[in-house]
Amino acid sequence: MRIAITGGIAAGKSTVVAHLKELGACVIDYDRLAAEVVAPGSLGLERIISTFGIEAVDDDGRLRRKWLASVVFGGKQHRHMLQRLNAIVHPLVYEQAAILESMLLDSDVNDATETTPIIVHDIPLLTEVRDSIPFTFRHVITVEAPVGMRVQRMVSTRHMSPEEANARIRSQSSEQQRLAIADIVIDSAVSFEQMFECVDRIYAELLQET
């Protein structure tokens, strides 16, 4: 079974995904893939330099993520820059996700399908890319928390200013948009114990469907 999990920035999705891994799910992490496709020497990084200029990399040839974030997450006037970045990164990520999934399904390479019948695509921006992503999902999970709590998390754990945190939230889909594409909702504003109990129950129900 292929499912997707999404959620706004700092909504608690990573914590839920980590627990799903502990339960036995196999996870394809789109954030990790996005980092890999823009690594030094990669085609993705070459295209970013061509689009955004040499300022996009540091003296060691690595992507200047904070600089790029300031360019693409600066508000509505920067939205076209974010679209240009996505047009570079997303197709490369999909390609790598398809390769990983095919390896997981190849019994000659990996016996994961014998012990892990659920493959989770961890896609933070699923709402934004749902029309272009080349996969279909049996279920879509979204992890949600109030905006104020998410801003507080970003300020305390990611050392963002409140303005930066709110800009990142505004650059993503709204909670209503994520709820519109999801059939399973996990509330991360509750205690960890309550949230993990919810995840345990959902995973057990998914296993029954496989």
Residue at 20: amino acid letter: L
69 has a pLDDT exceeding 50:
yes
- Angle, to 10 degrees, between the axis of helix 79-105 and the axis of helix 65-72? 120
| Residues 97-101: contacts with CB under 8 Å, at least 24 apart | 97/28, 97/30, 97/33, 97/121, 97/135, 98/134, 98/135, 100/28, 100/33, 101/2, 101/28
What is the pLDDT at residue 49? 96
What is the pLDDT at residue 107? 55
Q: Where do the DSSP E strands lie in 52-175? A: 119-122, 139-144
In this prediction, residue 149 has a pLDDT band, given cuts at 50, 70 and 90, of very high
Average pLDDT, the chain: 91
What is the pLDDT at residue 79? 79
In this prediction, residue 182 has a pLDDT band, given cuts at 50, 70 and 90, of very high
This prediction's pTM: 0.87
